[in-house]
A and B are shown apart, each in its own frame.
Chain A
Amino acid sequence: MVGKARIRASLFVTCLVDQLFPRVGVGVVRALRSQGVSVDFPPDQTCCGQPLFNSGFRKEAAALARRTLKSFAHSDRVVVPSGSCASMMKVFYPDLFRDDPEWGPLARDLSGRVHEFSQFMVNVLGVTDVGAAYEGRVAYHPSCHLLRELGAVDEPVSLLNGVKGLERVELPEAGVCCGFGGGFSVKHAGISEAMLKDKVDNVVGTGARAVASCDAGCLMQIGGGLSRRGADVRAVHLAEILGGVA
Chain B
Amino acid sequence: MAGVKMREFRRASARALADDKLQSFLGRSMGTFDGAREEAIEELSRQRWDELRERGRAIKRHTLDNLDYYLDMLCDRVSQNGGHTHFAKDSDEARRIVGEIARARGAKLAIKSKSMVSEEMELNPFLESMGVEPVETDLGEYIIQLAGEAPFHIIAPAMHKSKEDVGELFEKKGIGLPNLKEIEAMADAARVALRGKLIAADMGITGANFMVAETGTVALVTNEGNGRFCTSVPRTLVSIAGMEKIVPCLEDLAVFMRLLPRAATGQRISSYVTHVSGPRRPGDEDGPEEFHLVIVDNGRSNLLEDPDLREALYCIRCGACLNACPVYRKVGGHAYGWVYPGPIGAVVSPALAGLDKGKELPYASSLCGACKDVCPIKINIPHMLLKLRSSVAEGAERGGTKASLGERLAVKGYGWLMSRPRALSMARRLGRWMQWPVARRGLIRRAPVPPFSRWTRSRDLPALAPRPFRDLWRRELAEEE
**Measuring CB to CB, which residues of chain A are less than 8 angstroms from any residue of chain B?**
13, 15, 17-22, 24-26, 29, 33, 38-39, 41, 43-44, 46-47, 49, 51-60, 63-64, 67, 92, 95, 144-145, 147-149, 175-177, 179-196, 220-221, 223-225, 227-228
A55 and B459 contact, Cβ closer than 8 Å, known pairs A47-B418, A144-B368, A186-B454 = no
Cβ–Cβ contact A193 & B457, under 8 A: yes
Cβ–Cβ contact B470 & A18, under 8 A: yes
For the complex, what is the distance from the CA of A51 to the CA of B418, rounded to whole Å? Answer: 11
**For A67, what are the chain B residues with a Cβ–Cβ distance below 8 Å?**
418-419
**For B327, what are the chain A residues with a Cβ–Cβ distance below 8 Å?**
188, 191, 195
Q: Is B47 in the interface zone, CB < 8 Å from A?
A: no
For the complex, what is the distance from the CA of A72 to the CA of B368, rounded to whole Å? Answer: 28
Cβ–Cβ contact A228 & B459, under 8 A: yes
Cβ–Cβ contact B14 & A190, under 8 A: yes
Cβ–Cβ contact A21 & B394, under 8 A: no
Best-surrounded residue of B13, B412, B469 (most CB of chain A within 10 A): B469
The secondary-structure label for the interface of chain A is helix
Cβ–Cβ contact A191 & B421, under 8 A: no
Choice from A13, A58, A180 contacting B366 with Cβ under 8 Å: A180
B412's nearest neighbour on chain A, judged by CB, is A60
21 CB contacts below 8 A, A to B, read: A20-B464, A25-B473, A26-B477, A29-B480, A47-B414, A55-B411, A56-B394, A58-B393, A60-B415, A177-B326, A177-B368, A184-B365, A186-B455, A188-B364, A189-B455, A189-B457, A191-B17, A191-B330, A193-B458, A223-B460, A224-B462
Choice from B388, B418, B463, B473 contacting A46 with Cβ under 8 Å: B418
By size class, the interface of chain B is: 35 or more
Q: Is B373 in the interface zone, CB < 8 Å from A?
A: yes
Q: Is B251 in the interface zone, CB < 8 Å from A?
A: no
For the complex, what is the distance from the CA of A145 to the CA of B386, rounded to whole Å? Answer: 14
Q: Is B306 in the interface zone, CB < 8 Å from A?
A: no
Cβ–Cβ contact A56 & B403, under 8 A: yes
**Measuring CB to CB, which residues of chain B are less than 8 angstroms from any residue of chain A?**
10, 13-14, 17, 326-327, 330-331, 362-370, 372-373, 383, 386, 388-394, 403, 407, 411-412, 414-415, 418-419, 421, 424, 428, 443, 445, 450-452, 454-455, 457-465, 467-474, 477-478, 480-481
Cβ–Cβ contact B391 & A177, under 8 A: no
Choice from A38, A196, A227 contacting B481 with Cβ under 8 Å: A38
Cβ–Cβ contact B418 & A196, under 8 A: no
